[in-house]
Chain A
Amino acid sequence: MKKNYLSYTMALTLQAIENGYGYGFDIMTVTGLASGTVYPALRRLEDAEFVSSKWEKASVAQAELRPPRKYYEVTKPGRTVLEEARQRFRLLSQLEPLATNKPARQKS
């Protein structure tokens, strides 16, 4: 059963992915949500097929001597429900789009 009505957390997570933050940690950082919230939201979105996950290319990871990361993409139905959620949560549009590769919260 697919739920078409998103909670704020799920909508925010979805918006973050839409904005280009494809990795769990980036989503956490950009939304300011705790991982205990982001990951369940991700799992639910994935179950509902609003996002799909892929592994990053092994060659990239191997170059950096670490395992490949999993990144998430918004699917077509995901986009539709996100559009609907934006009507309800005006704040969503204010989420900053991906500009730099730098983590948002860094010590200067």
Chain B
Amino acid sequence: MASQKTKPWISLIRLIGVIVPQRLRADWRQEWEAELRYRETQLAEWQQLDWRSRLDLIRRSMTAFWDALFLAPRRAEDEIVQDIRFALRHLLKNPAFTCVAVLSLALGIGANTAIFSLVDAVMVKMLPVRDPEQLVALDSFTQRGEQRDFSYPLFKYLRDRKSSFSGVLAASDGTSRMAMKMPSSDDTEQVEVQMVSGEYFQVLGVDAFVGRLLTAEDDQAAGANPVAVLSYNLWQRRFGGEFSVIGQTITVKEQPLTVIGVAPAKFFGEAVGRAPDVWTPLTMQPSLQKGQSYLESPNISWLRIMGRLKTGVNENQANAEVNNVVWQLKNESNDLGKSALNIAKIDVLSGAQGLAEFRTRFAKPLRILMAVVALVLLIACANVANLLLARATARQKEVAVRHAIGAGRFRLIRQFLTESLILATFGGVLGLLFAWWGSRALLILVSGDSSPIPIDVTPNVRILSFTFAVSVLTALLFGLAPAWIITRPNVGSALKVTTPARPRLGLSRLLVVSQVTFSLLLLIGAGLFLKTLHNLRTINLGFQAEQLIQARISPRSSGYKPEQYPELNKRLIERLNSTPGIRSASVAGSGFRSGSSRTCCIAVEGYTPGKDEDRQIQVLEVAPGYFSTIGLPLLMGRDFTPSEVENKPGVFPKLAIINETMAHRYYGQANPVGRRFGWGDQKVVYDTEIVGVARDANYGNLREKTKSLIYYPSEGGTLLVVRAGLDSSTLVSTIRNEIKTVDKTLEPFISTVAELRDEALVQERMLAKLSSFFGLLALLLAGIGLYGVMSYDVVRRTREIGVRMAVGARGLDVLGMILREALWLVIAGVLLGLLVALMTMKVIASLLFGLEPTDPLTLVMATVVMLAIAAFAGWLPAWRAARIDPVFALRHE
């Protein structure tokens, strides 16, 4: 057989056999060869092996090609299964490596998925309503460019002239916290109430889960329809999901409301980040917020408007139409027309994702966090790549053997990439679990100590595909380079020597440098955010915030009339002042982070305002003793005396204390005490005398400069301020009890100023906490990376170190040598990191307070921390190198 000359058809079969899967190839070749040979022998026997038959044989062997093509696809699936089996076996054999790699990847991928879940919920996800892409939000801007809500008359005007919209809805801007009494018990609970127009649910396209939702008929006349729709959550939480709730009466702020239905579970209203518990018609506003009605005045802006576009109408057309309607309105001479003059423009924007305020508030922090976690993932990738590279040596022999028996380089790379993909897949799955837990933890963190912000972060298709994509990308990122390097063909040398040839460490060094760079960036960011938080927390408020407690009361709910407030307040203050542990108490119209009122238009004697000067001034009613209670010093003049308080609601007393800013603005360096001002435009009566100047106080807009403020004497405020003697936290319940002994129907809302200040810093705290967490994580990963590379380096150089020591190097010299090498890497990384930081930290400038993005102290601190960790991570392997026994090392192969 061997003597036979190879026939052309046989060579053809051999050639074509290449595309047949390897496991089938031998069989396949033999089958075809045998057939052709058999045919050939037969023809020879019959003496018919002429040129025609030969051609026929060649033709037949050519058709083997089709057979081979048919079998070829089995090759890939076959080899992939092989790859996966081999990779799994290999990973199981190295459990320590697998665990470390999977865990680092899981941390990186999990962090990315968690932050992406938030990004998705806040910035991407559409409202869970019918055809959300048809929804638009209307944003009204004043002549001064400020965004302003809509008034009820303006909403009705727009609603009745809606040609671009199939429906228009209005909802109160935000929810109000109100006490709700259960139907048949005295149980009360604080619930979030939102007032919405009758069309609200129809326009959003939401159907009732139980009962019915509001309709336009429910919203006709003020106070005529005391009905309520419950959220699914409240229905489950307080009513046990009982269908009998329909028709029952709940009492919200003394106003009985009949429950008519329950909204579906996923529905949370028109704005992400809020979750009203109860919806009532807009026309119930006067009944629920006793006192002023918001329904008549075109000057009270309290509504957000959304609309559903008619089919075929786009946002631009709707925009043009709305602005045209407003333009016509401006020509009308009634009150509404006049109020419309202040509207510069109305923007019609997509409302598919709900109203934007939450989105705009968290967009930047979320983007920064996304960048932060991306860096963490890169560092984790570098770590895994380094681990893979370190094992390259161990596997060099394996690679050489496989190469020698015929595996192509591409095939080997595929094998290694399969391993990477499996690692990344495990990392991704574990990361998804981390994210599941992490995104909830994040929400709680973002929300401060109150209940978590109601955002739905359940994993959806988008989040899952994001995680999948990130995992695959990660695998390529950390797997490709090591695979490329490991499979570099150097069969001969690798097979011969037992100690592998020294592979170049260029890539792993580069990886460590980049890890250090990224970690330093994250550390610097974390430092900046921490310092910002610290700056804002320790900002000088002007008064003594510690040990100060605020108690908001609502006497109106307990049946008091405004003229009775001063008398009630006097009793309360007297009672509190005689309570042990309380140093002093007073009352004011508002306080720290509890809103402010502004009045127009001030006219100061002897001062000519500029043409466009803002003449609105913040005013605050305070009782005598207020300044000493909150610890706000008077710089000039004196406090009000009890006899100066007139207590006539709505009438400004003729005495005032102004703050420093106002004094500087209107009087410069002169002493304002004894000077006068008045209100109005024409025929101003300068009848108010300034009796004192108080130091500037920051009432809650921590980042803003203090504005001009006038204090008036009055005892009719509803905010009690209490200066505690020692520990303010234990006093909260005491104060509640004392207030209750004066009038048990009063429901005070008590908190310390320190708590309120912390609440104001939610975003800053979130950024500081998360960036520090991720910064430390990055530091840890980079430390592990450096440690890994250096220890591997030491092991690899055992022999060399042994020689050095044999010829006289001391342990200290070796220690120094290894440490120096580690530090060079770190210093390179640090320098690069500082350079990048100087160039990029500008992007977070707007989130910082009281320091520059290139704050030198932060840069130095971050560098020191980085160097310290690096020194530690490098010291361990160096120390081990220094203890190498030369005799052992020289024998070491």
Q: Which residues of A contact B (CB under 8 A)?
A: 23-25, 28, 34-37, 39-40, 43, 61, 64-70, 103, 106-107
> In the complex, are the beta carbons of B60 and A67 less than 8 A apart?
no
Q: Is B236 an interface residue (CB 8 A)?
A: no
> In the complex, are the beta carbons of B70 and A40 less than 8 A apart?
yes
> In the complex, are the beta carbons of B67 and A36 less than 8 A apart?
yes
Give every chain B residue within 8 A of A28 (Cβ-Cβ).
60
State which residues 45-87 of B face A: CB under 8 Å: 46, 48, 52-53, 60, 63-67, 70-71
Give every chain A residue within 8 A of B64 (Cβ-Cβ).
35, 39
Q: Is B37 an interface residue (CB 8 A)?
A: yes
Give every chain B residue within 8 A of A37 (Cβ-Cβ).
66
> In the complex, are the beta carbons of B60 and A25 less than 8 A apart?
yes
Q: Is B41 an interface residue (CB 8 A)?
A: yes
Whole-angstrom distance from the CB of A45 to the nearest CB of chain B? 13
Q: Is B30 an interface residue (CB 8 A)?
A: yes
Give every chain B residue within 8 A of A67 (Cβ-Cβ).
30, 33-34, 37
A22–B34 alpha-carbon span in the complex (Å): 13
Residues A70 and B34 in contact in the complex (CB < 8 Å), given A25-B39, A25-B60: yes
> In the complex, are the beta carbons of B42 and A107 less than 8 A apart?
no
A25–B42 alpha-carbon span in the complex (Å): 12
Residues A36 and B66 in contact in the complex (CB < 8 Å), given A64-B41, A67-B37: yes
Q: Is B807 an interface residue (CB 8 A)?
A: no
Other A-B pairs beyond A67-B33, A67-B34, A70-B30, 16, CB < 8 Å: A23-B35, A24-B35, A25-B35, A25-B39, A25-B60, A35-B60, A39-B66, A39-B67, A40-B66, A40-B67, A40-B70, A66-B34, A66-B38, A68-B34, A103-B39, A107-B52
> In the complex, are the beta carbons of A35 and B63 less than 8 A apart?
yes
Residues A35 and B38 in contact in the complex (CB < 8 Å), given A24-B31, A67-B33: no
A23–B52 alpha-carbon span in the complex (Å): 22
Tell me the total A-B contact number using a CB cutoff of 8 A: 64
Q: Which residues of B contact A (CB under 8 A)?
A: 1, 4, 27, 30-31, 33-35, 37-39, 41-42, 46, 48, 52-53, 60, 63-67, 70-71
Of chain A, the residue at the smallest CB distance from B24 is: A43
> In the complex, are the beta carbons of B39 and A35 less than 8 A apart?
no
Whole-angstrom distance from the CB of B33 to the nearest CB of chain A? 5
Give every chain A residue within 8 A of B33 (Cβ-Cβ).
67
> In the complex, are the beta carbons of A69 and B67 less than 8 A apart?
no
A35–B68 alpha-carbon span in the complex (Å): 11
Give every chain B residue within 8 A of A107 (Cβ-Cβ).
48, 52-53
> In the complex, are the beta carbons of B42 and A43 less than 8 A apart?
no
Of chain B, the residue at the smallest CB distance from A39 is: B67
Of chain A, the residue at the smallest CB distance from B27 is: A70
Whole-angstrom distance from the CB of A66 to the nearest CB of chain B? 4
Give every chain B residue within 8 A of A103 (Cβ-Cβ).
39, 42
A100–B67 alpha-carbon span in the complex (Å): 27
Q: CB < 8 Å: which of B27, B34, B46 contacts A61?
A: B34
Give every chain B residue within 8 A of A34 (Cβ-Cβ).
63, 66
Whole-angstrom distance from the CB of B222 to the nearest CB of chain A? 70
> In the complex, are the beta carbons of A106 and B34 less than 8 A apart?
no
A40–B64 alpha-carbon span in the complex (Å): 10
Of chain A, the residue at the smallest CB distance from B37 is: A66
Residues A43 and B70 in contact in the complex (CB < 8 Å), given A35-B60, A65-B1: yes
Whole-angstrom distance from the CB of A64 to the nearest CB of chain B? 6
* 5 closest cross-chain pairs (CB), A and B: A36-B66, A39-B67, A35-B63, A66-B37, A69-B34
Whole-angstrom distance from the CB of A44 to the nearest CB of chain B? 9
A34–B60 alpha-carbon span in the complex (Å): 9
A64–B37 alpha-carbon span in the complex (Å): 10
Can you offer 17 A-B residue contacts whose CB atoms are under 8 A? Answer: A24-B35, A25-B35, A34-B63, A35-B64, A36-B63, A39-B67, A39-B70, A43-B70, A43-B71, A64-B38, A65-B4, A65-B41, A66-B34, A68-B30, A69-B35, A103-B39, A107-B48
